[in-house]
Structure 1
């Protein structure tokens, strides 16, 4: 019976499993994520080589794709970025029906994507079990804007702008391999009838929030304006807000800046 159970455990039946219990699943960039990693023993004793915990998101990158001949074209491909990770520094053995707990802290980078639109952030947990199928657990997280960015969003909304699309696009020269792009459309207020859309790229660090803007007054193609600008390293209309600025002041300064440059 023991040998039979071990054979079943090797293919995942009655094997050890892992759960990541998140203390707070609504976070803001820069927060510390506290996780209780729980390993539940299966029907037999098993060796665990390691536990891997990864905080992940996806972004889009344009890559050149061959069409099978001399022609090449560019396509957007989804890439996974590991924002933070943790591994257990030792192996252990878990007995049948035993439960082991591991307390883990992961720091969210300042530019962790805000989870609106198509932007997703998740926690992936994996057990490394020799000669067996490795159990996994995946948990989605909600990431809200930090107070400074929230102040900017509130000001844009009060000015009649609504978020239409949010994308994470590959970009070089930043701490992460991508930036998050927010596309707004004016539905009322002073910009209605003047602009077709406003695109915003945000980059946050300990000292400041940096913003780049592009205003479109006419019909354009399907590709985002900032995606092209990022690819050429020609971002314009740059505004920098100090980190200690009050959120309401941040929003007001952004509106004043937009009125000056547009």
Structure 2
């Protein structure tokens, strides 16, 4: 094959291609993700050192930005974070036009964000080819709440709360550089007209599901307050629930806890 085609392949033109096929695009945190990786050779033979997979998500951070003067302002930016990564350490030579297929299975982290609102989770697959642009594939995933978290959301909805916004916000003090914040507003029920907002963070830690709450009673907004309080270690309203609890019971515990902290 001509040097011209080899040069094009090194630039990603006419080179190997990769396509990851998901058996299911809807998953739960901690669930197994089965995938099939299809690799097809280009116009020239290429050495593949490895196949890498990255489970990625987005979160929002505030960074200082200079406007050309001495004053620095904080600006919100979207950051990408790799939740997990896996490799298939199988070096091989991919002949021109050759097709190969790999089947594998990976476990999602238990604190993979739920894909509601602006929260996005996707799987990237990269072929590691020396001296060439790595062929890539990107597949979005839909992550739904597990039975316990789903029961918490259902209990809040039955108590008159409506999910208004979901964001992954940067914070300190956690294994990840961010937390996922669920913002609820009471539209009916016992808290309507008394609370303005309820913010919730959930985190699986060992054998417990921990819930953190921030409540705005003063009609002035708590947006982002929960993440800031967590970063400063100042948030006291938290509830730890064993993962062995029946989903039928967790909603009652959450509502009983909210009734307890409702007394200012």
- Give runs of aligned pairs for residues 188-207 of structure 1, distance below 5 A: 188-207=188-207
1:66 shift after superposition: 3.5
The CA deviation string for residues 168-219 of structure 1, in whole angstroms up to 9 with x for no partner, is 1122222222111000011112211111111001111341110011111233
Preserved CA contact (<8 Å) 1:62 1:77: yes
**Residues 136-195 of structure 1: CA distance to partner in whole angstroms, max 9, x if unpaired?**
110000101111111100000111111111111122222222111000011112211111
**Separation in 2 of the partners of 1:49 and 1:242?**
44
Q: CA deviation at 1:222?
A: 7.8
Q: d(CA) in 1 for partners of 2:121 and 2:115?
A: 7
Query: What's the C-alpha RMSD, in Å, of the aligned pairs?
Result: 1.8
Q: How far did 1:72 drift? A: 2.4
1:9-48 alignment, distance < 5 Å: 9-48=9-48
Report how far residue 11 of structure 1 moved.
2.7
TM-score, normalised relative to structure 1? 0.93
Q: Distance in 2 between matches of 1:206 and 1:190?
A: 34
SS of 1:4's partner is: helix
Equivalent residue number for residue 243 of structure 2: 243
Number of residue equivalences: 262
Asked if 1 retains the 8 angstrom alpha-carbon contact of 2:33 and 2:105, the reply is yes
The aligned counterpart of 2:101 is 101
User: Which secondary structure state, in structure 2, belongs to the residue aligned with residue 151 of structure 1?
Assistant: helix
Where does the alignment leave 5 or more consecutive residues of structure 2 unmatched?
A: none
CA contact (8 A) 1:152 1:254 kept: yes
Distance in structure 1 (CA, Å) of the matches to 2:26 and 2:43: 35
